[in-house]
C-alpha cells in the first residue's frame, strides 16, 4: 500500500501545482482575476474525480497515463490562459470532453482485442479521412497558415488528419497482427503490400496538404509498427532508405519543402520573412534562460502561433528551460508507460495498437520540439495535450483511452 | 513472445536516445547560445523590457521639463520635446531602430531606473501594510529624472542668434563648469528621426545635421588660439608683457615662405596687449617660434589639448596640438596662431576661456546638476569638480583677462550688446583648405564676462562666417548680454 | 525588487520544484513496480483464481479435488460446449456462468431450473464470489480458491 500513498502524494502535488499556477495567473491582474482561480479549482476537481472513477472501476489499469496527461493538460490550459483567456476556456472544454471520452473508452468499452477484426472498416475510414483536408482545401480554395489540413462546418473547424492518424494505427494493428514470417521474400512481401500502399497513400496525402509534420509522424509510426510486427531490422532500413529517396525527391519537386529546408539551415538569414516565426521563437526561448522570466512577464504576442505550434517556446520563456525539460521528461514517461502496456497483454492486435499509439505521442513531441529548436525543419504539428486544438486534444484522449483500456486487460 | 519483448525494448531505447539527445541539445542551446541570442538587437524584448519603466524626465536648470516620455503600447514609449529642436543636440535621441545618443545615452541608466524596491520595501517596513503592497504591486514604474544645467534663455538667444548659419555656441559657468547653453546648427527635428537618418545616409549630405558640432565638430581655431599662445609666452618670459614688437606685416622664412598678417597689414611698433587686440600673426608667430614647440604644446595640453576631457553627461572629442621638430619653423609659427594642424572643438575653446576666467582653474564641464526620483526627491547631486587646479597662474590669468577686456572695450561700437557687461573677448578667423582649395574661413569668438568676476564664458563658431569679428562676435555679445542682464 | 518580482521568483522555483518532485515520485513508484517483477511477469502479479471440485455428486465425469483455473469465463451446464459439463439431471443445459474481471468473480444464474446455491443460500441473478466461497449446482459442490504466488 506504500504505492497508493505515493500515488496520492503525486496527485496532491499535481493539485498544488495547478492551484499555484492559477493563483499566480490570478495575481497578474489587478484586481484579482477570479476566472483563473475557478479554472484552477475546476481542473483539480475534474482530475480528482476522473482519477477516482478510473481507480474504482479498473484498479489494475495503468495509473500513470492519466496522471501524466493531467499534468500536461493543466500546463496547457494555464499557458493558454496566459496567452488568451477565451482560448483557455475553450481548451478546458476540449479537455473535459477528452477526459469524458477517455473514461468512456476505458470503462465502458469491451476489451480492445474485440476490435481486432475490423481491418476493412479502419482502412475505409483512413482512406476517407486522409485526403479530406486536401479536398476541402482544393474545392473551397481555403488555406490555413499555408497548409490545407482543416475542414470547416460553419463556425467549427477540425483537422481530419488527426483522426485519420488514429484510424491508420488501428488499421495497421489489425492488418499486421496476422503477419507471419515465412522467410520467403515474396510471401512476406505479399502480406505487407496492402498496408504499405495504405501508408504511402496517407503519406502522399499529407505531403500534398503541405503537412510535412504529419508525414514524418505517420512514417515513424508505420516503421515502428512494422518492426514490431515483423522483427526484421532489414525492413526498417529499407524503409529508411526509401524515405531518404522520397525526401530528396520531395525536396526537388515541391517548392514548399525546399523553402522549409532552406529556412531550417539558416533561420537568421530569413529572419525578416520566412524564418520570422522560428527566430521569434528562439528569441523567446533564449530570453527565458534556465528559470524563465516568470508567468506573465514574457512576450507571447511577439511569437507567431504561440498557442499551437510554438506553445513550447512560450513555456520556455516564462517557466524556463529547466521546467520545459521536465515537461519533455513527462512526455517520455507517457511514451514509456504506453509502450510498456505491450507486455501486459498477449493479444497481438492490442500489442501493435499500443506500440503505434505510444510511438505517435513520442514522435509528435520530438518533431515539434525539434522543429522549434531548429534541430529539424519546422512543421506545423501540435504539442500533444498542451497545444490549443480540439481535434488534437480529442484524438489524443481517444488514444490514451485505448491505451488505458488495453492496460486493464486480463 | 520473447522477440516482442526485445523489439519493444529496442524501440524504447531508440526513443530514449532521441529524447536524451534533444534534451541535451536544449540544455546546450540555452547555456551556450541563449545569452547571445537574447541580447541580439532584433529581440524586441530588450526594448519591451526597457519599456517597463517610463523613461525619466529631463529638466532645464530651473526645473522645467524639456523632455518627457509617455507610453504608447507595450513595446514603445514616445519622447516628447517641449521646445522642439532647441535642445536637440544636447539631449540626443533614443530610438528602437537607431539607438541612443547624447545625454539620453550618458544618463540612460538613471533615466531607466525605477527605485521600486527601496520605495515599496521601505514603505512596507514603515507602515507594515502588506495589503497596500499587494494592491500596488502593479504600480506604474517611472524612471528617475535629471536636472540639467541648461538655461532656457541663454539657449534660446544662442539658438536664435546663430539662425540659419552652420556652427555652434557653447556657454559655461567658469566657476562651476556648468554648461549653460550648448547649441549646434543645423539642427534636425527630433520627432522625425527617420527623415534625418535618411538624409544623413543619402550620400549627398552636406549638412551633417545629426552631428553635435559643439562636442564633435573639429575645426582650426585660428586667432582665438592666440589666447593660449599668450599664456604660454607670459609664462615663458614674464617680461614679454613690456616688450615692444616690430610688426612689418609678415614673417619670411628661410625657405622663402611667408606668414602674413590679416590683409598683410603692418602694424608697426606695438606692445603685447595691442598685438593681441589687433591679432598680429607676426607677433604671435614669432612668440611661438621663440618659446619652441615643446613649451607651447605643454601649455596647450594643460588646457586639455591632446587628451579626452571628461565631462558629465557629455563626451568631448579630443582637440589636438601638434608635436613639431625644431626646424619646422613655419609650422611652429602657424601653430602659434591657431593654424596648421591645430584642431579644436568649440567646447575646448569654451573651456580655455572658462579656465582663464576662473583664474587658471579648469572646472569639469557638466551638463547635469541633480538626479531626482519620480516624485522630485533628490537622489544624487553632481558636485562641481576641479579637473586641473593650475593650468596657468592667477596672475597670468588676470593679464589675459585684462587684454581681452581691452579688446572688447575698443570694439564696443561694433558689438553694442557688450555695452555695460564689462566683457572680454578674442576674435578668430580660421583659414582652411577644402578639396585643395582655400575655403571661406570660419569665424570664431571667445568671450568672458564680467571680467572682474566672471559669470559666463562663451565660445562661438560660425562656419564659413568670414571674419570672427563679424557674426561670431555678434552672437557672443548677445549671449553675454543675456547672461549679465537677463536674470 | 518589488512585490511582483518576489512573487515571480518564488513561483518560478516552486513550479520547477513541484514538477520534478512529481517526476521523482512517479519514477519511485515505477521502480517499485519493476522491483516487484511487475514488468516481466505481469500475469503473475495478479492473483489467480481456480474452481476446485469439492464434491462430485451425481456427476460421473468430475473428479474430486480437481482444479480448473479461472481465466476469463467458465460456463457450467449439461449441454456440450460448456467449460464444465455436468451430467446431473437437476442441472440445466446452460446453468451458470462464472466471469473473472478485475479481480472480481461474478457467478451468474443463466435462468436455470433449480438455481445456484452459494454457501447454501440460493442466489438471485448474480453473485460476487470471494475466495473460499462454496457453491452448489445440482449435486456438485465447488469451491473458489485463490493463489497469491507471484
| C-alpha span between B133 and C2 (Å, rounded) | 9
Q: Which chains touch B (3 or more CB pairs under 8 A)?
A: A, C
Chain A: give the shortest CA distance to residue C136, in Å: 27
Residues of A in contact with C39 (CB under 8 A): 340, 343
Q: Measure the CA–CA gap between A136 and A389, rounded to whole angstroms.
A: 19
Q: Chain C residue with minimal CA distance to B114?
A: C1
Cell of C38: 511487475
The answer to whether the CB atoms of A20 and C11 lie below 8 A apart is yes
Task: Give chain C positions within 8 Å (CB) of B137.
Answer: 2-4, 7
Task: Give the Cβ contact number of residue C65 at 10 Å.
Answer: 9
Assess contact for B340 and B322: CB atoms under 8 A: yes
CA distance A321 to chain C (A): 10
Nearest by Cα to B71 from B92, B50, B96, B51: B51
pLDDT tens for residues B250-273? Answer: 998 888 888 889 888 899 999 999
pLDDT at B26: 93
Quick check: C16 and A13 CB within 8 A? Answer: no
Q: Is B16 exposed, middle or buried (0-12, 13-18, 19+ CB in 10 A)?
A: middle
Distance of residue C40 Cα from the nearest chain B Cα, in angstroms: 9
Task: Quote the CA–CA distance of A114 and B109 in Å, as a whole number.
Answer: 71
C-alpha cell at B405: 577686456
The answer to whether the CB of B353 falls within 8 A of the CB of B180 is: no
Contact A320 C16 (CB under 8 A): yes
Whether the pLDDT of residue A69 is over 60: the answer is yes
B284 or A130, higher pLDDT: B284
Please give the model's pTM, rounded to 2 decimal places.
0.67
Give CA–CA dist B126/B131, Å, rounded: 13
Indicate the pLDDT class of residue B135, thresholds 50, 70 and 90: low
User: Cell triple for residue B354?
Assistant: 572658462
Confidence of residue A301 (pLDDT cuts 50, 70, 90): confident
In angstroms, the separation between the Cα of residue B125 and the nearest Cα of chain A is 22
**Which residues of chain A neighbour C25 with C-beta distances below 8 Å?**
6, 9-10, 13
Beta-bridge mates of residue B99: B95
Highest mean pLDDT range out of A361-375, C33-47, C125-139?
A361-375
Are B138 and C4 spatial neighbours (Cβ–Cβ below 8 Å)? Answer: yes
- Among chain A residues, the shortest Cα distance to C28 is held by A6
What distance in Å separates the CA atoms of residue A81 and residue A20, rounded to the nearest whole number? 14
Give one DSSP letter per residue of A177-213, joined into a string: TT----S-HHHHHHHHHHHHHHHHHHHHHHHHTT-HH
| Placement of cell 502522399 in the chain | A204
Q: Which of A107-116, A142-151, A192-201, B78-87 has the lowest mean pLDDT?
A: A142-151
Mean predicted confidence (pLDDT) in B228-248: 94
Average pLDDT over chain A reads 87
Annotate B222-290 with DSSP letters as a single string. Answer: GGGGHHHHHHHHHHH-GGGGG-EEEE-SEEE-TTS-EEE-GGG---EEEEHHHHHHHT-HHHHHHHHHH
Q: What is the pLDDT of residue C42?
A: 44
State the Cα–Cα distance between residues C38 and C46, nearest whole angstrom. Answer: 9
Closest CA to A75 of A346, A292, A342: A292
Task: State the SS3 of B301-345.
Answer: HHCCCCCCCECECCECCCCECCCCCCCCHHHHHHHHCCCCCCEEC
B130: confidence class by pLDDT, cuts 50, 70, 90: low
Instruction: Mark yes or no for CB contact C11/A24 under 8 Å.
Output: yes
SS3 C71: coil
- As a whole number, mean pLDDT of residues A345-358 equals 90
pLDDT per residue over B59-93, tens digit each?
Answer: 999 999 999 998 887 777 889 999 999 999 999 99
Euclidean distance between CA atoms B483 and B401, whole angstroms: 18
What integer pLDDT is reported at residue C45 of this predicted model?
A: 46
> Considering only CB atoms, which chain A residues are within 8 Å of C32?
2-3, 6
Lowest mean pLDDT segment, chosen from A67-76, A251-260, B451-460: A251-260
Q: How far is it, in rounded angstroms, from Cα B274 to Cα B272?
A: 5
The predicted pLDDT at position B373 comes to 87
**CB–CB contact B117 C2 (8 Å):** yes
Given a cut of 60, whether residue A391 has pLDDT beyond it is yes
E strands, B45-107, are: 53-54, 58-59, 65-71, 77-81, 94-95, 99-100
Q: Do B26 and A370 touch (CB under 8 A)?
A: no
ipTM: 0.92
Q: What is the pLDDT of residues B37-51, one digit of tens each?
A: 887 777 888 777 778
Residue of B nearest to C3 (CA): B137
Residue C99: closest CA among chain A residues belongs to which residue? Answer: A410
Work out the minimum CA distance from A209 to partner chain C, whole angstroms: 38
The secondary structure of B221-240 as a DSSP string is -GGGGHHHHHHHHHHH-GGG
pLDDT digits (tens, 9 = 90+) for A8-35: 888 999 999 999 999 888 888 777 888 8
Q: Which phi and psi (to 5°) does residue A128 adopt? A: -75, -45
Measured CA to CA, the distance from residue A144 to residue C143 in angstroms comes to 66
pLDDT at B124: 53
Judged by a CB distance cut-off of 8 A, whether residue C47 touches chain A is no
Residue from A327, A314, A326, A325 nearest A288 by CA: A314
Backbone angles phi, psi at B114, to 5 degrees: -120, 115
How many Å lie between the alpha carbon of B79 and the closest alpha carbon of chain A?
Answer: 23
Taking only the tens place, the pLDDT of each residue in B278-332 is: 999 999 999 999 999 999 999 999 999 999 999 999 999 999 999 999 999 999 9
> Is B123 in CB contact (< 8 Å) with chain C?
no
Question: B150, B157 in Cβ contact below 8 A?
Answer: no
Record: contact B30-A362, CB cut-off 8 A: no
Interface of A with B (CB under 8 A): 27, 29-30, 224, 227-228, 231, 271, 279, 282-287, 289-290, 299, 301-302, 321, 324-325, 328-329, 331-332, 335-336, 339, 342-343, 346, 351, 355, 359, 362, 366, 369-370, 373, 375
Tell me what pLDDT residue B350 has.
Answer: 97
Q: Do C40 and A343 touch (CB under 8 A)?
A: yes
Q: Which residue of B has its CA nearest to A366?
A: B19
Q: Does the pLDDT value for residue C1 go beyond 70? A: no
A267: confidence class by pLDDT, cuts 50, 70, 90: confident
DSSP B391: S
H or E element, residue B299: helix B281-302
| Among the partner residues C22, C33, C103, nearest to A10 by beta-carbon distance | C22
CB contact (8 A) between residue B137 and residue C2: yes
State the nearest Cα–Cα gap between B135 and chain C, in angstroms: 10
- What is the gyration radius of the CA atoms in chain C, in angstroms? 26
Instruction: Look at B42 and A279 and tell me if their CB atoms are within 8 Å.
Output: yes
Across the interface, whether the CB atoms of C7 and A27 are under 8 A apart is answered yes
- Identify the closest residue of chain A to B46 by CA–CA distance: A287
Alpha-carbon distance of A361 to A384, in angstroms, equals 7
Query: What one-character-per-residue DSSP string does C78-140 give?
Result: SSTT-SEE---TTS-SS-EEEEEETTEEEEEE-S-SS--EETTEEPSSEEEE-TT-EEEETTE
Residue A10 at interface with chain C, using a CB cutoff of 8 Å: yes
For residues B487 and B457, the answer to whether their CB atoms sit within 8 Å is no
- Residue C7 near chain B (CB below 8 Å): yes
Show the cell assigned to C111: 435462468
**In terms of Cα–Cα distance, which of C136, C41, C37, C135 is closest to C91?**
C136
Indicate yes or no: CB of C28 within 8 angstroms of CB of A6: yes
Q: Which of A78-87, A115-124, A354-363 has the highest mean pLDDT?
A: A354-363
pLDDT bin (cut points 50, 70, 90) of residue A231 is confident
- Cβ-defined contact of B22 to A366 (cutoff 8 Å): yes
Q: How far apart, in whole angstroms, are the C-alpha atoms of residue B87 and residue A393? A: 60
**Backbone torsions φ then ψ of B210, nearest 5 degrees:** -75, -15
Burial label for B155, CB within 10 Å (0-12, 13-18, 19+), is: buried
| Contact status of A25 with chain C (Cβ, < 8 Å) | no
pLDDT class for B29, splitting at 50, 70, 90?
very high
Distance of alpha carbon B400 from alpha carbon B426, whole angstroms: 10
Subunits with at least 3 CB pairs below 8 A relative to chain A? B, C
**Which pLDDT tens digit goes with each residue over C75-84?**
888 888 888 8
Confidence of residue B377 (pLDDT cuts 50, 70, 90): confident
pLDDT of residue C89: 82
| Contact between residue A140 and residue A132 where contact means Cβ atoms under 8 Å apart | no
Amino acid at each position: 500500500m506504500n504505492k497508493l500513498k505515493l500515488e496520492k502524494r503525486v496527485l496532491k502535488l499535481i493539485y498544488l501545482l495547478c492551484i499555484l499556477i492559477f493563483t499566480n495567473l490570478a495575481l497578474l491582474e489587478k484586481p484579482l482575476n477570479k476566472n483563473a482561480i475557478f479554472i484552477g479549482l475546476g481542473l483539480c476537481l475534474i482530475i480528482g474525480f476522473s482519477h477516482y472513477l478510473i481507480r474504482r472501476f479498473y484498479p489494475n489499469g495503468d495509473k500513470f497515463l492519466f496522471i501524466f496527461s493531467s499534468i500536461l493538460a493543466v500546463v496547457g490550459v494555464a499557458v493558454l490562459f496566459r496567452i488568451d483567456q477565451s482560448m483557455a476556456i475553450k481548451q478546458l472544454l476540449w479537455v473535459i470532453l477528452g477526459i469524458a471520452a477517455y473514461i468512456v473508452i476505458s470503462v465502458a468499452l469491451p476489451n480492445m482485442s474485440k476490435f481486432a477484426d475490423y481491418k476493412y472498416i479502419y482502412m475505409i475510414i483512413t482512406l476517407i479521412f486522409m485526403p479530406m483536408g486536401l479536398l476541402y482545401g482544393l474545392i473551397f480554395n481555403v488555406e490555413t497558415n499555408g497548409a490545407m489540413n482543416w475542414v470547416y462546418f460553419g463556425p467549427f473547424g477540425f483537422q481530419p488528419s488527426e483522426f485519420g492518424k488514429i484510424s491508420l494505427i488501428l488499421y495497421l494493428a489489425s492488418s499486421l497482427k496476422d503477419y507471419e514470417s515465412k522467410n520467403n521474400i515474396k510471401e512476406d512481401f505479399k502480406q505487407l503490400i496492402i498496408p504499405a500502399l495504405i501508408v504511402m497513400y496517407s503519406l502522399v496525402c499529407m505531403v500534398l496538404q503541405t503537412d510535412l509534420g504529419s508525414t514524418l509522424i505517420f512514417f515513424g509510426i508505420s516503421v515502428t509498427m512494422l518492426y514490431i510486427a515483423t522483427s526484421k531490422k532489414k525492413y526498417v532500413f529499407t524503409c529508411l532508405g526509401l524515405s531518404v529517396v522520397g525526401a530528396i525527391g520531395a525536396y526537388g519537386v515541391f517548392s514548399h519543402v525546399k523553402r522549409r529546408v532552406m529556412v531550417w539551415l539558416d533561420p537568421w538569414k530569413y529572419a525578416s520573412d520566412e524564418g520570422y516565426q522560428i527566430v521569434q521563437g528562439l528569441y523567446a526561448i533564449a530570453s527565458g534562460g534556465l528559470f524563465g522570466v516568470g508567468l506573465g512577464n514574457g512576450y507571447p504576442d511577439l511569437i507567431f502561433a504561440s498557442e499551437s505550434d510554438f506553445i513550447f517556446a512560450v513555456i520556455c520563456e516564462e517557466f524556463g528551460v529547466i521546467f520545459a525539460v521536465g515537461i519533455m521528461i513527462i512526455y517520455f514517461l507517457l511514451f514509456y508507460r504506453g509502450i510498456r502496456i505491450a507486455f501486459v497483454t498477449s493479444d497481438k492486435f492490442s500489442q501493435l495498437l499500443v506500440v503505434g499509439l505510444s510511438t505517435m505521442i513520442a514522435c509528435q513531441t520530438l518533431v515539434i520540439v525539434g522543429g522549434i529548436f531548429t534541430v529539424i525543419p519546422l512543421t506545423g504539428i501540435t504539442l500533444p495535450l498542451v497545444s490549443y486544438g480540439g481535434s488534437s486534444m480529442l484524438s489524443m484522449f481517444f488514444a490514451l483511452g485505448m491505451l488505458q483500456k488495453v492496460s486493464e486487460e486480463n | 513472445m520473447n522477440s516482442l519483448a526485445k523489439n519493444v525494448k529496442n524501440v524504447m531505447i531508440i526513443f530514449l536516445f532521441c529524447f536524451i539527445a534533444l534534451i541535451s541539445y536544449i540544455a546546450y542551446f540555452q547555456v551556450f547560445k541563449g545569452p547571445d541570442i537574447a541580447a541580439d538587437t532584433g529581440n524586441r524584448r530588450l526594448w519591451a523590457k526597457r519599456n517597463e519603466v517610463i523613461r525619466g524626465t529631463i529638466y532645464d536648470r530651473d526645473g522645467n521639463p524639456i523632455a518627457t516620455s509617455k507610453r504608447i503600447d507595450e513595446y514603445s514609449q514616445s519622447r516628447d520635446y517641449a521646445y522642439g529642436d532647441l535642445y536637440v543636440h544636447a539631449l540626443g535621441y533614443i530610438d528602437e531602430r537607431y539607438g541612443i545618443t547624447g545625454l539620453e545615452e550618458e544618463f540612460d541608466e538613471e533615466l531607466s531606473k525605477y527605485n521600486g524596491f527601496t520605495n515599496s520595501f521601505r514603505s512596507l517596513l514603515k507602515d507594515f501594510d502588506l495589503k497596500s503592497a499587494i494592491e500596488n504591486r502593479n504600480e506604474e514604474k517611472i524612471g528617475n529624472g535629471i536636472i540639467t544645467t541648461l538655461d532656457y534663455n541663454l539657449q534660446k538667444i544662442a539658438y536664435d542668434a546663430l539662425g540659419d548659419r552652420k556652427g555652434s555656441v557653447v556657454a559655461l559657468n567658469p566657476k562651476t563648469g556648468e554648461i549653460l547653453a550648448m547649441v549646434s546648427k543645423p539642427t534636425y527635428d527630433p520627432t522625425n528621426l527617420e527623415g534625418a537618418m535618411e538624409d544623413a545616409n543619402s550620400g549627398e549630405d552636406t549638412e551633417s545635421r545629426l552631428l553635435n558640432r559643439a562636442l564633435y565638430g573639429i575645426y582650426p581655431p585660428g586667432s582665438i588660439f592666440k589666447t593660449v599662445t599668450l599664456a604660454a609666452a607670459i609664462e615663458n618670459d614674464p617680461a614679454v608683457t613690456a616688450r615692444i614688437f616690430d610688426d612689418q606685416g609678415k614673417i619670411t622664412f628661410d625657405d622663402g615662405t611667408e606668414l602674413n598678417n590679416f590683409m598683410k597689414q603692418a602694424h608697426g611698433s606695438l606692445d603685447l596687449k595691442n598685438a593681441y587686440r589687433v591679432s598680429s600673426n607676426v607677433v604671435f608667430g614669432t612668440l611661438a617660434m621663440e618659446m619652441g614647440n615643446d613649451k607651447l604644446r605643454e601649455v596647450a595640453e594643460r588646457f586639455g589639448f591632446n587628451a579626452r576631457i571628461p565631462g558629465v553627461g557629455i563626451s568631448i572629442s579630443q582637440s589636438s596640438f601638434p608635436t613639431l621638430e625644431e626646424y619646422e619653423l613655419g609650422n611652429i609659427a602657424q601653430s602659434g596662431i591657431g593654424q596648421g594642424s591645430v584642431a579644436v572643438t568649440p567646447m575646448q575653446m569654451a573651456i580655455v576661456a572658462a579656465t582663464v576666467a576662473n583664474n587658471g582653474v579648469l572646472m569639469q564641464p557638466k551638463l547635469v546638476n541633480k538626479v531626482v526620483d519620480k516624485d522630485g526627491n533628490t537622489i544624487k547631486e553632481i558636485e562641481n569638480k576641479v579637473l586641473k587646479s593650475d593650468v596657468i597662474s592667477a596672475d597670468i590669468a588676470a593679464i589675459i583677462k585684462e587684454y581681452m577686456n581691452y579688446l572688447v572695450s575698443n570694439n564696443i561700437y561694433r558689438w553694442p550688446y557688450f555695452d555695460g557687461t564689462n566683457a572680454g573677448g578674442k576674435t578668430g578667423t580660421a583659414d582652411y583648405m577644402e578639396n585643395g582649395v582655400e575655403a571661406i574661413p570660419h569665424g570664431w569668438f571667445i568671450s568672458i564676462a564680467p571680467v572682474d568676476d566672471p559669470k559666463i564664458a562663451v565660445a562661438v563658431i560660425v562656419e564659413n562666417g568670414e571674419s570672427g569679428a563679424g557674426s561670431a562676435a555678434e552672437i557672443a555679445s548677445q549671449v553675454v548680454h543675456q547672461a549679465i542682464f537677463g536674470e | 525588487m518589488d512585490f511582483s518580482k518576489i512573487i515571480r521568483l518564488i513561483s518560478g522555483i516552486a513550479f520547477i520544484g513541484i514538477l520534478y518532485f512529481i517526476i521523482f515520485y512517479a519514477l519511485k513508484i515505477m521502480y517499485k513496480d519493476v522491483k516487484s517483477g511487475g514488468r516481466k511477469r505481469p500475469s503473475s502479479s495478479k492473483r489467480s483464481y481456480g474452481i476446485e471440485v469439492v464434491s462430485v455428486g451425481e456427476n460421473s465425469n468430475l473428479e474430486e479435488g480437481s482444479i480448473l483455473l479461472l481465466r476469463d469465463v467458465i460456463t457450467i451446464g449439461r449441454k456440450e460446449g460448456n467449460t464444465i459439463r455436468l451430467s446431473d439431471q437437476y442441472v440445466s443445459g446452460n446453468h451458470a456462468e462464472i466471469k473473472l474481471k478485475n479481480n472480481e468473480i461474478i457467478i451468474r444464474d443463466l435462468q436455470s431450473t433449480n438455481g445456484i446455491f452459494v454457501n447454501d443460500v440460493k442466489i438471485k441473478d448474480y453473485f460476487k464470489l470471494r475466495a473460499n466461497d462454496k457453491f452448489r449446482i445440482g449435486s456438485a459442490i465447488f469451491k473458489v480458491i485463490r493463489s497469491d504466488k507471484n
